Amino acid sequence: MNYPTYETIVAESYGHFDFTSIGRKGKVKKRIIFRQTSDKELVLLALVDVRKDGTFDDKVVTDNGDRDKILATVAKAIRFYTDKFPDKWIAFEGSTDARTRLYRVAIALHIVELSKHFIVRGALLNHTKTHPFSVGVPYVAFFIKKKIE
């Protein structure tokens, strides 16, 4: 992805990356969270807005006019995280159908470049197994792992 990204503040544990979206609606604090699951190889990724009271919201539509910069920032965080933890699969899905569709389209647009550095898989509605990512398939969840070169 050749888009500009936001500067991030990385937690010492690599558990989250904070940044500020700057756009037509002002400054909005955001956090990219990597949360370990009970499966030692699987980490869940979430992108959330940080409210003034410190709580998180993953359903709000910020509409700050910087979607591509935010997605590029998430991609940068994934690269950084997987450089530190190359054995981890990162799983994510949209908190709404529209967000899931946005992620699917963004991955499809950049699948050639992504595939050079990552294994990219998708899961269908039943989530019972993953498949190599193919453009046009209605995945509802996505899985990314760094390729060991």
- CA separation for the pair 13, 140 (Å, rounded): 28
Residue-wise burial string across 131-143, b where 16 or more C-beta atoms lie within 10 A, e elsewhere: eebeeeeebbbbb
Instruction: Break the chain into its structural domains and give their ranges.
Output: 9-146
- How many Å apart are CA 43 and CA 7, to the nearest integer? 22
pLDDT, one tens digit per residue, over 44-91 is: 999 999 999 999 999 888 889 999 999 999 999 999 999 999 999 999
How wide is the angle at C-alpha 27 spanned by C-alphas 66 and 114, nearest 5°? 35
Q: List the one residue out of 109, 106, 148, 103 whose CA is nearest residue 123.
A: 103
Residue 8 has pLDDT above 80, yes or no: yes
Q: What is the pTM of this model?
A: 0.92
> How many helices (H) and strands (E) are present in the chain, helices listed first?
3, 9
- Looking at the DSSP bridge assignments, the partners of residue 91 are 44, 143
pLDDT per residue as tens digits for the range 19-48? 999 999 999 999 999 999 999 999 999 999
Tell me how far apart the alpha carbons of residues 92 and 100 are, in angstroms, rounded to a whole number. Answer: 9
